[in-house]
């Protein structure tokens, strides 16, 4: 085995990299700023600062969309940039890689994660993949190696993945195209409709963090800056939590519906396990106020919001690298399997 092993969670909004024996060593925005279609001028958090502010000659883009790699060239450039940054060398030594991938995606999309690293130009040893819900559950501290069934809901930036796990594998999984970014878009739309104000993605996300509630009844306000629809001039408006609830509630109920669909398909013996232990919720949007109350109200089950929910997948990759009993959860796919 190579001296270094990296575990990579290619998130839509953030990329998290773990290293064997060290835990999470990189947590930055998964975004790159390039000029002339080739020259990297910024990456990660530095590039995110340029987002929605860059002139036309600078492209600031997210290479991952809806949980899968949409821009291979820029994602490859970004991966090389981060690995060199972590190694402190322009020519990093040979390293092994473990990549977390969503379950409910096509074989072509699954293959792209493997090939991205294989063709990155880095000195690559072994490449292994692990299903993201498995890493997610391990990072949340759940026991998935026994016959006790576990249900975990990962609410990411562009997608939500609802999974049932048992005996170290995935029994059921469903991926829906709703996540934190969709909530931000909804907030932008409602603010434009109700207040005649254009706001940016960053402002919408900030407003969500301050005011979003999964249940009605919360009363709070915050001031937002934007551009007036009528005059086109900069403007300052006050937005209420009621407005934000109106924007996001439909999408939160869609997530609840996905949970119900998986519960309806769950084998009865695993259903009894879920009744005992409840549903575990992870992902960056797991911290939305009263999300726990909404899911509990609609399912009648105990809801557990995991500690450090945004980092559970990366923490799970660390456990796979560092704890021998979990090493079999990551596997090296044969080329023919990648093409089946």
Cα separation, 12 vs 156, in Å, equals 8
Q: Does pLDDT of 334 surpass 70?
A: no
Note the pLDDT of residue 90: 81
Length in residues, the chain:
340
Q: What is the mean pLDDT of residues 172-191?
A: 96
Q: What is the mean pLDDT of residues 106-116?
A: 92
Q: What sections of 212-329 are H helices per DSSP?
A: 241-265, 268-277, 291-299, 312-322
Cα separation, 164 vs 316, in Å, equals 16
Which residues sit opposite 69 in a β-bridge?
64
- pLDDT category at 92 given cuts 50, 70, 90 is confident
If phi over 0 gives left and psi between -120 and 50 gives alpha, with beta otherwise, what is residue 232? left
Query: What tens digit of pLDDT does each residue of 238-284 get?
Result: 999 999 999 999 999 999 999 999 999 999 999 999 999 999 999 99
- pLDDT category at 338 given cuts 50, 70, 90 is very low
Q: Does pLDDT of 333 surpass 90?
A: no
Q: Does pLDDT of 213 surpass 70?
A: yes
Q: Does pLDDT of 339 surpass 50?
A: no
**Ramachandran angles phi, psi of 38, nearest 5°:** -150, -30
Q: Does pLDDT of 36 surpass 90?
A: no
Note the pLDDT of residue 37: 75
What does 179-238 look like in DSSP terms, one character per residue? SHHHHHHHHHHHHHHHH-EE--HHHHHHHHHHH-BSSTT---EEEEEEEETTT-SEEEEE
Share of the chain above pLDDT 90, in %: 90
Note the pLDDT of residue 1: 43
Q: Does pLDDT of 197 surpass 80?
A: yes
Note the pLDDT of residue 88: 87
Q: List the CATH code of the domain at 141-178+254-310.
A: 3.30.420.40
Q: Does pLDDT of 136 surpass 90?
A: yes
Helix axes 291-299, 241-265, angle to 10 degrees: 40
Q: Does pLDDT of 109 surpass 50?
A: yes
| Contact (Cβ atoms closer than 8 angstroms) between residue 260 and residue 251 | no
Cα separation, 16 vs 9, in Å, equals 5
Cα separation, 264 vs 144, in Å, equals 21
Cα separation, 231 vs 75, in Å, equals 39
Residue 209, class by beta-carbon neighbours within 10 Å (0-12 exposed, 13-18 middle, 19+ buried)?
middle
Smallest Cα–Cα separation from 283: which of 170, 186, 187, 139?
139
- pLDDT category at 2 given cuts 50, 70, 90 is low
Domain 4-135+313-339 has CATH 3.30.420.40: yes
Note the pLDDT of residue 292: 97
Q: Which CATH class is domain 180-247?
A: alpha beta
Within the chain, which residue ranges are assigned CATH 3.30.420.40?
4-135+313-339, 141-178+254-310
| Contact (Cβ atoms closer than 8 angstroms) between residue 158 and residue 65 | yes
Q: What is the mean pLDDT of residues 197-206?
A: 96
Q: What is the mean pLDDT of residues 162-191?
A: 96
**Ordered strands of the 221-228 beta sheet:** 197-198, 221-228, 234-240
| Contact (Cβ atoms closer than 8 angstroms) between residue 126 and residue 104 | no
User: How far are the Cα atoms of 15, 61, 107, 135, 178 from residue 157, in angstroms, in the given order?
Assistant: 12, 15, 22, 17, 8
Note the pLDDT of residue 335: 57
């Amino acid at each position: 085995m190579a001296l270094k092993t990296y575990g990579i969670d290619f998130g839509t909004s953030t990329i998290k990299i773990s290293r064997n024996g060290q835990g999470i060593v990189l947590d930055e925005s998964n975004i790159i700023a390039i000029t002339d279609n080739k020259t990297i001028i910024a990456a990660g958090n530095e590039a995110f600062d340029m987002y929605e502010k860059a002139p036309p000659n600078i492209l600031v883009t997210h290479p991952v969309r809806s949980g899968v790699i949409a821009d291979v060239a820029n994602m490859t450039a970004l991966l090389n940039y981060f690995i060199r940054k972590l190694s402190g060398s322009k020519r990093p030594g040979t390293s092994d890689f473990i990549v977390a991938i969503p379950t409910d995606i096509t074989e072509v999309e699954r293959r792209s994660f493997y090939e991205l690293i294989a063709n990155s130009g880095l000195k690559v040893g072994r490449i292994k993949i692990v299903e993201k819900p498995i890493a997610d559950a391990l990072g949340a501290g759940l026991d998935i190696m026994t016959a006790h069934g576990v249900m975990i809901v990962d609410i990411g930036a562009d997608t939500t993945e609802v999974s049932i796990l048992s005996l170290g594998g995935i029994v059921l999984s469903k991926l829906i195209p709703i996540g934190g970014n969709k909530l931000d878009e909804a907030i932008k739309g409602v603010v434009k409709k109700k207040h005649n104000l254009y706001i940016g993605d960053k402002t919408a996300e900030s407003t969500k963090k301050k005011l979003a509630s999964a249940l009605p009844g919360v009363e709070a306000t915050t001031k937002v800056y934007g551009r007036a629809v009528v005059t086109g001039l900069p403007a300052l408006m006050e937005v209420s939590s009621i407005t934000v609830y109106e924007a996001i509630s439909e999408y939160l109920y869609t997530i609840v519906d996905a949970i119900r669909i998986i519960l309806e398909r769950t084998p009865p013996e695993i259903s009894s396990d879920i009744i005992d232990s409840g549903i575990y919720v992870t992902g960056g949007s797991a911290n939305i106020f009263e999300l726990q109350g909404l899911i509990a109200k609609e399912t009648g089950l105990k809801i557990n919001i995991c500690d450090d929910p945004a980092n559970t997948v990366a923490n799970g990759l660390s456990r796979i690298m560092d704890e021998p009993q979990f090493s079999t959860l990551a596997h090296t796919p044969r080329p023919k399997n990648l093409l089946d």
